[in-house]
Amino acid sequence: MLSSYLTMAAILFCIGLYGALVKRNAVIILLSIELMLNAVNLNLVAFSKYGVVPSLTGQMFTLFSIAVAAAEAAVGIAVLIALFRARGTVNVDEYDEMRR
């Protein structure tokens, strides 16, 4: 059963990765990153039940991960709004300051 969860997480992770790299809208990219984080959480919880030594530690880890993800989402959205104010767009392909 464990491998099914892991496969499920892998699928989710890859879809998130694809979305993060292809979508132009910065909000969607943030969403895709949440998707990837969720895939990781799923892995952690699956191991906490089906791992060699089942324990609650995996769930604790997930809990912290969720907290950090929430903080990341909040800060990410704030940065996005500030950027939008400065540049008038949320399309990441128009944020090319790194080239200059």
For the segment 43-82, give every residue that binds another protein (CB under 8 A): 45-46, 48-56, 59-60, 62-64, 66-75, 77-82
CA–CA dist 30, 76 (Å, integer): 7
CA–CA dist 50, 85 (Å, integer): 48
Q: Residue 12 Cβ, how far from another protein at the closest point, in Å?
A: 6
Q: Residue 70 Cβ, how far from another protein at the closest point, in Å?
A: 5
Residue 15: which of 41, 43, 39 has the closest Cα? 39
The answer to whether residue 87 forms part of the interface with another protein (CB under 8 A) is no
Q: Residue 98 Cβ, how far from another protein at the closest point, in Å?
A: 4
For the segment 21-50, give every residue that binds another protein (CB under 8 A): 21-25, 27-28, 30-32, 34-35, 38, 41-42, 45-46, 48-50
Q: Report the chain's terminal Cα–Cα distance, integer Å.
A: 50
How many binding residues for another protein (CB under 8 A)? 79
Residue 26: which of 86, 84, 74, 99 has the closest Cα? 84
Q: Residue 11 Cβ, how far from another protein at the closest point, in Å?
A: 6
Place of tokens 């892998």: 10
